[in-house]
Structure 1
Amino acid sequence: MKRKKLFYGDTIHKRLVSAFLLVIISCLLLSGIVSYVALISVEKNKTEVEMISNLEQVTQNMDRLFLSMCQISEQMMQQGNLGILLNSYLTTQNSYELYHIKKQICTDMVTVAFPSSDINLLSYYNYNTQRNIFESFTFKEGYDFNQVPELIRIGDISYNGFHPSFRKYQNDMVISLKRESKFSENISGLIYIEAKLDLLGYIQTRQNDKNSKKMECIILQADKKGNICYSSDKDIFPVKKDFTLHSIFPDGKEKGVYGQYFAVAKTSKMGYTNLLLIRMSDYKRELYQWFDRSLIVFIVSIVLLYCMVFIIHRIIYGPLKIFGKEIDKLGEGSFELTDYDSGVLEFNQLFEQFNKMKRQIKKLITDVEIAEKEKNQLEVEKLIYQINPHFLMNTLNSVHWLAKSHNQPEISKFITNLNSILAYNLGKLDKDTTFRSEINMLQNYIDLQKMRYDFDASIDVEEGPYLDQPTVRLLLQPLVENAIRYGLGDQGIIEIRIFYHDVRNYVVLMIEDHGKGLSKDKLMQLQEPFRYNQDSKENSGIGLRYVRSMLETYYGDKAIMNINSEKGRGTKITLLLPLNKEGS
């Protein structure tokens, strides 16, 4: 074969690359301009939507916790379950009862707060003693209920904004509820409930890629009158009288620029307002980052695109062109094999496969010519195959009528049985073999063999529907033939029994003789159905091998063939053939 090295024309390459780059660069520039204009608006709206969404989550969770604390306070009032126990505790003088009531109050305070995992602390505060009567957890030293920022007051209930927890060993930010209550005729006090609200869990902060610092977010809260009563950063936004919601949004809107910050507000249905503020530099930071990164990506994309076009031209266009020429040559009838080195493994394999296809096509053409020559010979052999059995059966029929005309009934019966067996074995009779047809052919075969050998055959067949079910052709004849040839013995008796075992759902076929039996080596040899020595003149056991092979083909591994034999005591062959409940 002639080896060729592929070379590529520079002019075609330059034109292809120039046209490709011109189209792609134009598309990239147009897409970049359109996407930049769109992304400015999208990114701005994205930041605002995130801020508003986060603020709404904080406000909704505050409303939910205020409602939950209000419901708990109802149970702690004088008419509630806990309030009734508290009155009993304050009025009972019996020490034993006091102990049990105190224990029950402590248990019920935990039970009341259990449904809401955010409830952090519950207490009854006595104005007279300036101490807590009951508390679910220990309070910090120096706590003061008057220092919490009040957002709304409805009747005797005060809803308070963010402040540090009064619970000992905790520094979480909480919101709380205070409710005035009269515990007994002489004692007035306060119900205090606080709930945790994880601000960082709702205010999503994003990373700055340059300095890896978090975007600064500041939370403010305004009460129902618009006064700012809480600030998460009092150094930048201190809480003072003249600092109101109107100072941030003088036009009454809920978003806008306040100094160096962009702010959004969300007013609760209860009347208070939450505000979220971020620096303007952070607000626009991602737009600047997007522009810088987009420019870098655009430049890198152009360089990579040029490299990609160049590589594609070198490794794909050239080999495909050569491959097209080879196809044209094949179409013209040329089967010349040529080895191309394209420098790419896949293309080299493709050329090799193409050469292989040429060889196969050439071989197929030769095979077709040979097949045409052999077709006539095959037809002749087929006719001979059909004519020879037909001729043999016609000849046997002629012998049958000749014996009958010369008053030879034994010969006539012999020929009749032989003809019937031959037609059955060649498939000239029933196409589907059943147990009944096998038994009938077996009877004919035994009658035929009795004319040659002196023996008795006992056939015990249990009548039943199973006899009409399909099975293997020539199943019993080879087994009985072996029994007649090797197992007659001195008694000259062969016992055949066929019946249906309903419990195990098997057709059982047993063939037993009383002859000389088999040695252990011979028995092991018969267990291997495909061990057949073509050089052997006798090949004893071929019938058993045939039966075993046909059973494996027809029944798979569901049929069982068992051979029991002992030297000098005969051989017994048992077949277990499965049937389903419908008999198939």
Structure 2
Amino acid sequence: MRRIKFSNLKLMQKFLLSYFMLIIIPLILLSSITYKTVSTILETYITSATKQAFEQTYSFLSYKLYRVNDVSDIISNDNNITTIDSNLITILGKSPNTYPINEQIKDMFFLRKYLSSYENDIDISNLKLYVNNDFLYSNEDYNMFSLNKAKNSKWLTIFKENKTRNLWCPSSYLEDKPNSSPKELSLVSAIKNPNDFSKDIGFLRVDFKKSMVDDIIKKTNSVDGSFTYIQNSKGVIVSSTDDSLIAKYNLNNTLTTSLSSNTQNFQKLTINNNKCLLKSSLINNTDWYMTTIIPYDSILVKIKFIRNTLILLLSILGTIAFTLAYYFSNSITRRITKLNKSMRQVHNGSLETYIKDSSSDEIGELIDNYNFMITKMVILIDEQYKSGKEVKNAELKALQAQINPHFLYNTLDMINWMAFKDMNKEISSAVKSLAGFYKISLNKGKSKVSIKDELTHASLYVDIQNMRYSDRIKLTIDLPEELYRYSILKITLQPILENSISHGILGRGNVCGEIIISGKLENNDITLYVKDDGIGIPEDKIDKILTDDISSETGSGYGLKNIDKRLKLSYGEGYGLTFKSQYGHGTTVEIKIPATVHEDGFVL
């Protein structure tokens, strides 16, 4: 069924369907494969690039925090000052009760100079030393502070609770200006009593700028919509590249603590209904985690861009390919359709359908052969027509020559009988009618006469027959005069009248009869009716009249079959004789001919 359906398609449809199967579908498949491959490559590239940026940022940030940690270790563990009385641990371990004022002043200047030597605007912004409240310089409030100043800070509470040695502090752990924007991050280290490590004799706070950390982690975000943040082990956000995204993803302490466990390569996670790629790593020597989140939509945007680009290219290439395919197939099918149309016209009888085509391809050669074939056919048909016309004329003449010499013999015998009876007047009338009859029959060798002449010929025939049969035949002509000027084959009515008289009226016995000739013009055709009131034709013989010449039995000699054949040879198969009869009531013969004006107008 599919094969039949395909074979029934137009050639243009087959071409376009083939091009669609061979061009468009492969393009779609190629684009789909390319899209999937490029999407995978792009996703891998984005994650690899982000991973590389993450690792570079992580390394640099670790280095910066290591510098901070290194300074803190040097100062908080300092036992290597050249003068035994001038080291940090020795000074902080002194008892306030036995600590002279002048010595405190001396130690204050030493500590200020010592701590200031580590301060810079690059890594460390400030060093703060929290000492015994009873020391004179505990209120210096630049590098040295009383422990009372830290009693409300979160970092001191954590130290007391956890007994830890070092604490990396987000801004929220610090006591400085709690309502202001956080600008500092800190590493706080406990300074232990060398004689009892369970006791703290002071705290060293190393402050560094939060903006330094912010600037470093910003370099991680190479994808639009991605962000990086740093959190401590409690899930507190230390720094982030975009606080609005922190709020969007609702990253609370519990969630960030959970996310920090993903220390492997980028993993796909769903965070509050947002599909993401996430990577997190613990920064060395700290309890801080660096975490990067890439929204999967950001990757899809790039993938969708590639997809839309591929669709656009596919549309352009498909349109161009389909247009070229249509133009190519149309250049073929247009000429084949024109050739097919011309062949249909030839099939319908038109031989004037030459095709103009200047191409020299296979179709052009086919069109040239078609034009040659048509030319040859026209020549052969013309020759055949001339030959057929000659045969036809010869056949018509042969048919016309079949006039029964019996009619002439009977008429001459009748004239001879009249001469014997001295019927001179009747002889004159008979000879005059016979001469007029044969004058129209001969018609200067022409095969057609006007309908008026044919009616005159019929009247003369009936007049001669009435002389034989004592005026037993009445002829009535009821024909519109407008039909008189049209042409008809000569000697058409006479054989029909002869048949009506011999087989119709005389067939009823020694009675009189009437023949009526009428006609009409309709749709450029003329129909003549010859109606008699004779005995009629039996129903079983009506269909045999034009196949068996029933009139020959009585010697009429110019059978109805020959009349019908003459009309068809001259005018075509659509014309000729038709019989209608009711046995015992008469017969009507219909004569159908085309309406053609006679060339000589009215004759006689």
TM-score (norm 2): 0.35
Whose radius of gyration is greater, 1 or 2?
2
Higher helix share: 2
